[in-house]
Amino acid sequence: MRGLYPLVDLDSLEQRGLSPLAFAERVLAARPPLLQLRAKAAGARATLELLRALAPRCRALGTLLFANDRPDLALLAGAEGVHVGQDDVPLAEVRRFAPSLRVGVSTHDLAQLERTLAERPDYVAFGPVFATPSKRGHEPVVGIDGLGRAHALARAAGVPLVAIGGIDLERATLARAHAELVAVIGALLPPDATLDDVERRARELSRLLAP
């Protein structure tokens, strides 16, 4: 797995008046290897409906669909994976509950990263690499140097690393040098973005991050 990892973040899309499904379809035109639905404020029913709508669209293009936080909804919707944070359901519990799901885990410092790598997730995310407006009160920025140290640990463990946090078009190639996947939200959503803008940016990022 290498390349672009776009997040369909409902809060960001609502602020810009963009449909999540229309947004996802434009992003999927770039054929990313993974796509994540991030629905922090949405209810379970609405999240499940969106996941069920996204699943066949992703499957048709060979893109793995991940749900944020909710292994139960990922399983019900037929998604391939779930992404969990440090305060969510532990990786071991997810695997006990839903052994068919792939599991990605967020980490924010090297101690968290080493503990998580020992559990052998399907990927591990590390960041924020740069300051990001997409998450309020985010953890301290790790920078490119921190990302490089994290990548060395992840490579030694044989686990793909996802760089996340404040990565835009200009910073994408910096992050690519130290991660298998680069996760983005804001890079796809410049001010007053149209769906055409979204697709152009997704294609450009996919080109910059191609293996």
Give the C-alpha separation, 196 to 199, whole Å: 5
pLDDT, tens digit, 9 for 90 and up, residues 34-44:
999 999 999 99
pLDDT for residue 132: 79
pLDDT for residue 211: 83
Q: Residue 59 burial by CB count (10 A; 0-12/13-18/19+): exposed, middle or buried?
A: middle
Q: In percent, how much of the chain has pLDDT > 90?
A: 92
Q: H or E segment at 35?
A: strand 34-38
Q: Compute the mean pLDDT over every residue in the chain, rounded to the nearest whole number.
A: 95
Greater pLDDT, 148 or 190: 148
Q: In percent, how much of the chain has pLDDT > 70?
A: 98
Residue 93 has pLDDT above 90, yes or no: yes
Structural domains in the chain, sorted by start: 3-208 (3.20.20.70)
Those residues whose C-beta lies under 8 Å from the C-beta of residue 209, and which sit 6 or more positions away, are: 2, 3, 4, 172, 173, 176, 181, 182
| Cβ atoms of residues 131 and 177 within 8 Å | no
The arithmetic mean of pLDDT across residues 21-38, rounded, is 98
Give the C-alpha separation, 96 to 101, whole Å: 10
136 band by pLDDT with thresholds 50, 70 and 90:
low
pLDDT for residue 45: 97
pTM of the model: 0.95
pLDDT for residue 139: 82
Alpha helix ranges (H) inside 158-194: 172-176
155 band by pLDDT with thresholds 50, 70 and 90:
very high
Q: Between helices 143-157 and 110-117, what is the axis angle to 10°?
A: 20
pLDDT for residue 190: 87
pLDDT for residue 64: 98
The arithmetic mean of pLDDT across residues 116-138, rounded, is 87
Q: H or E segment at 93?
A: helix 91-97
Q: H or E segment at 77?
A: helix 71-77
Range in 42-51, 57-66, 83-92, 129-138 the model is least confident about: 129-138
| Cβ atoms of residues 100 and 81 within 8 Å | no
Give the C-alpha separation, 58 to 78, whole Å: 11
pLDDT for residue 127: 97
| Cβ atoms of residues 45 and 74 within 8 Å | no
Residue 67 C-alpha from the chain's centroid:
9
